[in-house]
Amino acid sequence: MRNLDREANVRAMLKQVSAEPGDRLSFFAAELTQDARWREAVAGSEYVLHVASRISEHVPKSADEMIVPARDGTLGILRAACQANGKRVVLTSSFTAIGCGHPPQRAPFDETT
């Protein structure tokens, strides 16, 4: 899905719940591993939401294929937010962080898994 389509979808969902942000919400396409674009994206922001990470369409040859870019990208985003004097960063993880590398199971994943 193109970024413009994603932005339109997010704005449409916000409108449905009467939470239109107007110009207070911006969208940027950025590569997780390229710090320069993140600095541009968070410049002037008080709050940064980092809610996704790249996942592979194939089984990685080593865990580092997923871990290193995710770790380094997250650190880059945190550095950019600090440089922008942001007030808060919200960081969530992907199901991939716990869902991969385990044998199939029927029980839900939780903090004990």
| Total domains, the chain | 2
Domain shared by 53 and 85, yes or no = yes
Domain shared by 19 and 40, yes or no = no
Residue 85: both structure tokens together: 């004097």
Give the distance, in angstroms, between the CA of residue 90 and the centroid of all CA atoms in the same chain.
9
Domain shared by 41 and 67, yes or no = yes
Mean pLDDT of 25-33: 78
pTM: 0.68
* CB 69, CB 54: distance < 8 Å: yes
* CB 50, CB 92: distance < 8 Å: yes
pLDDT tens-digit series, residues 56-104:
777 778 878 888 888 888 899 999 999 999 899 998 877 766 666 677 7
Residue range of the domain that includes 37: 31-113
Domain shared by 63 and 99, yes or no = yes
Average pLDDT, the chain: 82
Rounded CA-CA distance 15/13 in Å is 5
